[in-house]
């Protein structure tokens, strides 16, 4: 029986497939999981490097910070004994990622440390949208477009259609993954597009990570 874990990092619902499956099957499996459960927004796959480092491979080969944090929580819960600081490998990011996980009651809280070796301004591209200057931040495996909700209205019912339009207008459609993030003073509303699996999803912002086991 195939298994996956149901991970909830900041509302970015992620299925983590724990059975070893060929990479060429990632798209088919991820599409099946998301079709069977519309609450699942993305799918990752558990691997283990030859140097005993656990690896998270996202279905589209993208990088996802939320999934990486949830993966770290999963490892503390299921793989490590008395260990809460360790490194992982993730698609879309060349370097190892340092993780720190804390268990509070039944919940797990995690932080990750991404090592960049260039000034932050080297990752930022300025673009114009609707005659307004915006910033696009290009990280390994994913790029993010930031939209101030005072200038760009966020409409939950139409945000995926709007995000697709914005990604096309900014000529970002061929990147591995793109996040369109509407923000105000205390909340973000991200829509993420993953090219290899042609998938858009809305992330609902909450604050902690929960792990459940599900069979399919």
- Give the model confidence (pLDDT) of 76-117 as tens digits: 999 887 889 999 999 988 889 999 999 888 888 899 988 776
Confidence bin at 73 (pLDDT 50/70/90): very high
> For residues 202 and 36, is the Cβ–Cβ distance under 8 A?
no
Please give the Cα distance from 29 to 45 (Å, whole number).
10
Confidence bin at 200 (pLDDT 50/70/90): low
Q: Which of 11, 211, 15, 176 is nearest to 91 (CA)?
A: 176
Please give the Cα distance from 36 to 142 (Å, whole number).
26
Q: What are phi and psi of 213, to 5 degrees?
A: -110, 130
Task: Say whether domain 3-116+204-215 belongs to CATH 3.10.310.10.
Answer: yes
> For residues 150 and 134, is the Cβ–Cβ distance under 8 A?
no
Please give the Cα distance from 199 to 92 (Å, whole number).
17
Locate CATH 3.10.310.10 in the chain: 3-116+204-215
Query: Which letter does DSSP use for residue 204 in this model?
Result: P
pTM over 0.85: no
> For residues 160 and 191, is the Cβ–Cβ distance under 8 A?
yes
Looking at residue 208, its pLDDT comes to 37
Average pLDDT over residues 205-215: 37
What's the number of CA atoms in the CB half-sphere (13 Å) around residue 150? 3
- Give the model confidence (pLDDT) of 123-147 as tens digits: 899 999 999 999 999 987 889 999 9
> For residues 130 and 152, is the Cβ–Cβ distance under 8 A?
yes
């Amino acid at each position: 029986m195939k298994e996956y874990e149901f991970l909830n990092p900041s509302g970015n619902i992620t299925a983590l497939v724990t059975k070893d499956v060929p990479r060429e099957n990632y798209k088919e499996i991820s599409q099946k999981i998301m079709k069977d459960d519309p609450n699942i927004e993305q799918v990752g796959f558990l691997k283990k490097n030859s140097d005993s480092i656990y690896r998270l491979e996202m279905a589209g080969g993208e990088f996802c910070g939320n999934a990486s944090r949830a993966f770290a929580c999963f490892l503390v819960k299921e793989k490590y004994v008395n260990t809460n600081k360790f490194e992982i490998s993730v698609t879309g990011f060349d370097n190892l990622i340092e993780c720190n996980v804390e268990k509070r009651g039944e919940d797990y809280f995690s932080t990750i440390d991404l090592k960049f070796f260039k000034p932050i301004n080297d990752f930022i591209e300025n673009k114009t949208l609707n005659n307004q200057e915006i910033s696009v931040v290009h990280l390994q495996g994913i790029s993010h477009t930031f939209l101030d909700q005072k200038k760009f209205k966020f409409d939950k019912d139409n945000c995926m259609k709007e995000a697709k339009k914005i990604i096309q207008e900014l000529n970002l459609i061929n990147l591995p993954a793109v996040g369109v993030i509407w923000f105000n003073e205390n909340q973000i509303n991200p829509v993420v597009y993953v090219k290899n699996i042609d998938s858009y999803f809305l992330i609902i912002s909450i604050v902690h990570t929960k792990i459940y086991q599900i069979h399919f």
